[in-house]
Every structure is written in C-alpha cells, then in structure tokens.
C-alpha cells in the first residue's frame, strides 16, 4: 500500500498544509466548524482543482483500497464529511460556473462553489436585464455551504410551499467508486439521482450540478409577534395570500411562561417589479455577536431585542434570492467565550424536528416543559415549513411538516454532551408520538429504534449504498456509526 506522501505525489494533487508531529509523521486533523465536536485524524487531505483530478484521486484510492471521505465547508455536525484514516477530499477548489442558460434559467457549476459566488455570477451575467433568474432556496443560517454539500444533505430554506433542494436540481455529474463519470438526472440513472441527493456523500462524489432557477422577485417583509398556537393557521393564511417565504422565531427564555409559545412571525410577500427597494436596516456581524452573547447570558433581553429589531423592519423590501443570504461567524464559540468571560469550552448543537403542521402548537407546549429546566439552554429556535419530498430515496420530509429548529448550548464535557443527547432524544420521541421525524445531519444521538421509526428507508439505503459501492470506498464516521448500528 502507498504511503500518504507517495499517494499525494502519484495522484498529482495539491495537499493542504499538514502538521508534522515529533516522530516526523505527518498528522492531519479536521473538524466541523460549528459544533467543533468532530475532530478527526485523516490520512491525507487533497484539494482537486478539476473534475479530472477528482476522478484521478478516486481511481488511485480505489486501486490502493483507501477509504474516501469528502468535505466542503464542514458545517455538518454529525461527522458526515470525515472518516478516521481516510483520504479526505476537500471540494472547495472546484468553483467554476460552467454554463448559464438564460432562456431556460439553468445554471451549471462545479460542486465546490459556495452560494454567494454562484449568486454573484448570475447577477453579473444579467446586469441590465429586466426579468432575471435567481435561486429558489438555499439553507439559512450561513452562506458558506458548497453546492455539492447542499445536495448531499438535501437542504431546505424558508420557502412556505417548497420541497427540499432536490426539487430545484435538474441534473448532476457523479464520480463513482471506480472513478468513472456518471451523469444523473430524473431520466438518466434515476436511482442514483434519487439516492445521491440526500445520500451524504456515500454513493459517490458529486462533481457538477445543474440547478433550475426561478424568476427573481421583489418582496416585502411583514412582521408580527404571535403565539405559537396560532402559527399553523397564520402560515396557511400567508400561503393563501401568495407569500413566498417565512418563519416563526420563538422565545428562548426558559424562565418565562411564554417560552416557545410566543414568537416573531416574519413572512415575505411579492410586490410589483417596479417597487422601490428599501432594506435600510440590517444586522452586521457585531450585532449578531451581541445578540448571541445576550442569548447566552440573558435570554429574555435577547428575545426582546430580536423582536424589536424585526418589528422595526416591517415593510422593508428585498430581492427573493439575496434576502436568503445571512451572516455567520465561524469562530463564534471562542469569541463568545471571551466576550462573556466563560471558562467552559462549549458550542451549539442543532437539531431539526418535524411534526404534522396541525400539531405544532401542542408539540411546542410539551417541548417547553421538557427544556424548561435549562440544563441545555435554547440559544436560538425557529419554525419553518416543508412540503413532502416524493423524489429522494432517503427523504427526511416524508410528509408536509412544520420544521422546528433548536440550537442547544452544549458544554464540551461528558456530562454536558450527555445532557444534550438526552434532550435531543426526548425531542425526537415527542415528534415520533405525533407521527413526525428529525433531520439526520446534525448529530448521532438517536437510537436505532428512533432512526427506524423516523427514517424507515434507512436500512434499504445502507443496502443500496453497498450495491453501488460494494467495497465501501466512500465512508464517513457518521456512516460507520450507522453501519455498526444496523449490522
């Protein structure tokens, strides 16, 4: 078997700067940027710059029986992008836009491109054009996600009547375990199309993606503070009135009787193409940092400040695509510890829970009682909607759900991790009791029984992965966890 140094030389790829330990061996450690709880040692870290280099790396790894993991911007917190001892391929040099069909609104780009660059490209190409194209949706909370990573997790945004991202994908190119290029669409290798979107990088490496864009629209933000037991009805009213995007961000103060029961309801209504743009108020990075620091130390004031700000933006206008861009502080955890003077190493872990929409109010009542003791404080929480995904092989949106996102403050000790794990499992049980589910990407705390009830296709997905990748070339620590669980 090749040593790591010889492999890199033979593959002809650029290795990211590794660290040298005292024995002269190269050590390469990677981690996710949000929770910082997936520190993983990999054998090599490669940054291919072209589709051919990507395929060459896979072929070489296959010949030498090396496991491959693939990472983009490293936001996933469940360990999907890393495998201990693997050849880790970093896709972030694959950033070219390959074509833009302005007649049909189709844009093809390499899988390592991040959303802001993709948006900048098509906006520049459409300067002076009256009717323009834009993305339908992207994940919220951060912009530095690669396109390939977004497909691998089948992400969603704040659309009020949208299915997950698979609904916006026209086609993509996959490099399989043999290093061969496989075109995938609804008519060309349709099973791989359905399985690789939401397949967490386990069916092959996505190299190029063609997205179907939608007409760009001007939107007006309409903001209210409402009770959570009204949210389902109010969402339905907004959809009937033609609003396109929206969410409900609930109170995070566990000491208040309004905990999870009152929230800021913001929705976006299409307006005339010639309406003036008036988004004068925006939160910058320092504003968000101050809000997060308050959420750590005084959640009542944090929610009030957040509500006051959003109410002050009622009536502002935005573009439908660029409004989905948002600030993200990749070093937030360390910065906040310094800002509030905390000595405990900590970060936020996210979970996303799904329940039938008519059960949203009831779920939040029980979730409030579950989380009220404050052992794992809720730092941020929001509700969005998703339409049923009837295309992907492993759909997380098995019905048209309300999506409830919890960011829980987690102390990096065994006791702190166990407290968060127990809270997440309890939230999943509340969802199961209502015929709901949860998102697989954020953690590995769920039991086998919970995984099976919420994702009944999971065992079949593992079998399908073995069918397309019998030697387990594409791996992750996330996959190894579930492979052992379902052995």
Q: What is the pLDDT of residues 6-25, one digit of tens each?
A: 544 544 444 433 322 222 35
Q: Is the four-CA dihedral 260, 263, 265, 266 of positive or negative sign?
A: negative
- At 213, the pLDDT band (50, 70, 90 cuts) reads very high
Helices 458-468 + 477-485 axis angle, to 10: 120
pLDDT, averaged across the chain: 93
pLDDT computed for residue 285 by the predictor: 85
pLDDT computed for residue 208 by the predictor: 98
- At 279, the pLDDT band (50, 70, 90 cuts) reads confident
**Average pLDDT value for residue range 139-160:** 95
Using CA atoms, how far apart are residues 188 and 182, in angstroms rounded to an integer? Answer: 9
- Residue of 289 and 12 predicted with greater confidence: 289
Q: In this prediction, what percent of the chain has a pLDDT beyond 70?
A: 95
pLDDT computed for residue 88 by the predictor: 96
- Is the confidence at residue 212, as pLDDT, over 50? yes
What's the pLDDT tens digit per position in 159-199? 999 999 999 999 999 999 999 999 999 999 999 999 999 99
- Reported in sequence order, the residue ranges of 161-298 that DSSP labels E, i.e. its strands, are 169-175, 181-185, 205-212, 214-215, 218-227, 245-250, 262-270
Query: Is the entire prediction scored with pTM above 0.85?
Result: yes
Q: What share of the chain is helix, strand, coil (3-state, %, to 5)?
A: 35, 25, 40
Contact 296, 409 (CB under 8 A): yes
pLDDT computed for residue 460 by the predictor: 97
The tokens for 226 are 């409402």
Q: How far is CA 445 from CA 79, 82, 425, in A?
A: 12, 17, 7
Using CA atoms, how far apart are residues 362 and 467, in angstroms rounded to an integer? Answer: 42
Map out the domains of the chain with their CATH numbers.
4-90 (3.30.43.10), 97-215 (3.30.465.10), 218-320+331-454 (3.40.462)
- At 284, the pLDDT band (50, 70, 90 cuts) reads confident
Using CA atoms, how far apart are residues 387 and 389, in angstroms rounded to an integer? Answer: 6
What's the pLDDT tens digit per position in 335-372? 998 899 988 899 999 999 999 999 999 999 999 999 99
Q: Are strands 87-90 and 44-46 parallel, antiparallel or unpaired?
A: parallel
Q: How far is CA 91 from CA 46, 72, 246, in A?
A: 8, 5, 32
Residue 468, SS3?
A: helix
- Is the confidence at residue 1, as pLDDT, over 70? no
pLDDT computed for residue 127 by the predictor: 96
pLDDT computed for residue 374 by the predictor: 87
């Amino acid at each position: 078997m090749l040593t790591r140094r010889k492999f890199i030389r033979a593959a002809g790829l650029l290795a990211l700067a590794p660290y040298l330990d005292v024995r002269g061996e190269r050590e390469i450690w990677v981690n996710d940027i949000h929770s910082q709880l997936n520190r993983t040692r990999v054998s090599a870290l490669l940054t291919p710059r072209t589709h051919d280099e990507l395929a060459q790396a896979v072929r070489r790894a296959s010949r030498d029986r090396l496991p491959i993991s693939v990472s983009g911007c490293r936001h996933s917190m469940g360990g999907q992008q890393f495998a201990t001892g693997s050849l880790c391929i970093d896709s972030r040099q694959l950033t070219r836009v390959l074509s833009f069909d302005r007649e049909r609104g189709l844009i093809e780009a390499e899988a390592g491109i991040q959303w802001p660059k993709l948006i900048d490209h098509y906006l520049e190409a459409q300067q002076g054009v009256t009717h323009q194209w834009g993305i339908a949706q992207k994940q919220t909370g951060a912009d530095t996600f690669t396109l390939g990573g977004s497909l691998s997790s089948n992400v969603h945004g704040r659309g009020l009547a949208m299915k997950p991202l698979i609904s916006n994908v026209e086609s993509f190119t996959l490099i399989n375990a043999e290093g061969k290029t496989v075109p995938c669409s609804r008519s060309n290798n349709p099973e791989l199309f359905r399985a690789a979107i939401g397949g967490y990088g386990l069916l092959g490496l996505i190299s190029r993606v063609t997205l179907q864009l939608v007409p760009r629209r001007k939107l007006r933000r309409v903001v209210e503070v409402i009770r959570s037991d009204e949210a389902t009805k109010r969402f339905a009213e907004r959809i009937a009135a033609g609003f396109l995007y929206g969410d409900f961000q609930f109170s995070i103060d566990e000491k208040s009787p309004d905990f999870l029961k009152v929230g800021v309801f913001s929705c976006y209504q299409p307006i005339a193409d010639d309406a003036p743009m008036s988004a004068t108020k925006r939160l910058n990075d320092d504003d968000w940092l101050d809000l997060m620091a308050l959420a750590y130390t005084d959640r009542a004031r944090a929610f009030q400040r957040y509500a006051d700000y959003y109410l002050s933006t009622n009536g502002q206008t935005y573009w439908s695509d660029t409004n989905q861009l948002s600030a993200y502080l990749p070093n937030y955890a360390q910065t906040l510890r310094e800002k509030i003077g905390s000595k405990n190493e900590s970060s936020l872990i996210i979970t996303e829970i799904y329940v039938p929409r008519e059960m949203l109010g009831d779920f939040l009542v029980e979730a409030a009682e579950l989380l009220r003791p404050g052992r794992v404080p809720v730092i941020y929480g929001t509700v969005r909607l998703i339409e049923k995904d009837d295309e992907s092989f492993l759909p997380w949106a098995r019905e048209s759900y309300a999506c409830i996102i919890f960011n829980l403050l987690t102390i990096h000790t065994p006791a702190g991790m166990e407290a968060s794990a127990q809270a997440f499992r309890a939230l999943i049980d509340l969802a199961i009791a209502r015929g709901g589910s949860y998102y697989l990407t954020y953690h590995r705390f769920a039991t086998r029984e919970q995984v099976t009830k919420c994702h009944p296709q999971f065992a079949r997905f593992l079998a399908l992965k073995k069918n397309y990748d019998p030697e387990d070339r594409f791996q992750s620590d996330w996959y190894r966890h579930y492979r052992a669980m379902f052995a």
